[in-house]
Amino acid sequence: MPARLNEFSAAEAARRIESGELTAEALAAACLERIAERDDAVRAWAFIHAKQALAEARDLDQMPRRSRLHGVPFGVKDIIDTESLPTEYGSPIYRGHQPRADAACVALLRRAGCLLLGKTVTTEFANNHPSPTRNPHDPRHTPGGSSSGSAAAVADCMVPLALGTQTGGSVIRPAAYCGAFAVKPSFGSINRQGTKFVAESLDTIGIFSRTPEDLALALEVLSSRPAPDFAAFAGKPRIGLCRTPRWQDADAATQANLEEAATRLSKAGAAVGDFELPAGSEALFERHKIIMGFESARALAWEYANFPEQISTTLKPRLDEAWQVTRAEYDAVRETARQCRRALADRMREVDFLLTPSAPSEAPRSLASTGDPVFNRAWTLFGLPCVTVPHGKGAHGLPLGVQLVGPFDGDAALLGWAHWADAALGAGG
């Protein structure tokens, strides 16, 4: 049992709220206290209205239970609209911007009795210009991005659940860097109304938490797919060990950690075999950028035309370059991606999930970059569900993660296997 209320998992907190051992108000107050204590160092939050959150928590305490997450506070990446808190998309262009409505994902969590605690820091337009957020394990290291605040806040026990978005590697990578669990569901799992687009054919809303169970319960609320029965995932999964064509980009600690994880899962009963991506996939690890650039140039057409001087020196040249990409180049990458996606779907029938790095290393010791999404981009482009499970340490002692990738729309089963893998990886620890 955790020493402090803010350390409870979402599911455990909700169980105690249901049984009357805990109130939503006390839980929210504990999270707010943790934030007050730590956020000067971590800088995970963009906007919090503490009084309002506590008042809503009291309302939830009076209300019939709405779901298995009733009373649980959550953070929302500031690329997602909220009616009651400003939404600045990490950009000075939107200073003080107050949306009229909650995004669908926020409305769905509130409908389930969850408590909007505040907005978490996003990098500028969920792109790669660094935010002020620090890695809670060591403030000299990046928390990753673009969902910097959500990853750091959850890992630092400021909130048990948070929402982020991934276009390249903006959910899985920061979660791995900060030592949190996270899921980037299959493309199309969570409604995106009210989320500012980076690249609409890629953008996917994801969830951060500190247990696989919390991911499963939150994804049930957000996708309307029933959460897995973890007891059903106790067997002997078939695992494809996928080093990817970019294995050489992973540092020694990451390579060793993944091999060790594979050995451990094999000892726990899994059938582990090497898994190669379909021919043509190699190129997509880079060409993802063509799609992301082409689409984000258009999604930001208004900002680029009207406020070019308020776009960062990281993003502005990327947009300049993206406007040079032709529709034919863009369409060609999309067509290659479609072909690879189909070939991969066939091949993935032979496994329950793939095991692959969550990131090429622990969080780099730098605040000047949010790290490299090379181990995330292709999966986002394929639209496949990805879960990162914290496992191991890097050279500086920061967390590493292993990534599980499942078949399209097999999100619930993937979370079932993530729960199994987490237990199996921990057991030998």
Residues in contact with a copy of itself by the rule CB under 8 A: 83, 94, 97, 100-104, 106-108, 110-111, 188, 191-194, 196-197, 200-201, 223-226, 294-295, 298-303, 305, 326-327, 330-331, 334, 409
Shortest spacing between CB 161 and a copy of itself, in angstroms? 18
* Residue (15 or 298) nearer to a copy of itself, CB: 298
Give, for 220, the enclosing helix (H) or strand (E): helix 212-223
Q: Which residues contact 367 (CB under 8 A, 6 or more apart)?
A: 130, 134, 140, 141, 142
The two three-digit tokens of residue 335, written as one number: 């067509």
Question: Which of 123, 130, 121, 125 shows the shortest CA–CA distance to 156?
Answer: 121
Sign of CA dihedral 75, 79, 83, 84: positive
* Residue (25 or 409) nearer to a copy of itself, CB: 409
Shortest spacing between CB 224 and a copy of itself, in angstroms? 4
* Residue (263 or 326) nearer to a copy of itself, CB: 326
* Residue (97 or 267) nearer to a copy of itself, CB: 97
Q: Which residues are catalytic?
A: 77, 146, 170
Q: Is 271 helix (H, G, I), strand (E, B) or coil?
A: strand
Q: 113 with 71: CB under 8 angstroms? A: yes
* Residue (305 or 368) nearer to a copy of itself, CB: 305
The two three-digit tokens of residue 209, written as one number: 């938490």
* Pairing status of strand 161-166 against strand 399-405: unpaired
Q: Is 286 left (phi over 0), alpha (psi -120 to 50) or beta?
A: alpha
Shortest spacing between CB 49 and a copy of itself, in angstroms? 18
Shortest spacing between CB 191 and a copy of itself, in angstroms? 4
Q: Which residues contact 381 (CB under 8 A, 6 or more apart)?
A: 202, 284, 288, 291, 337
Shortest spacing between CB 379 and a copy of itself, in angstroms? 19
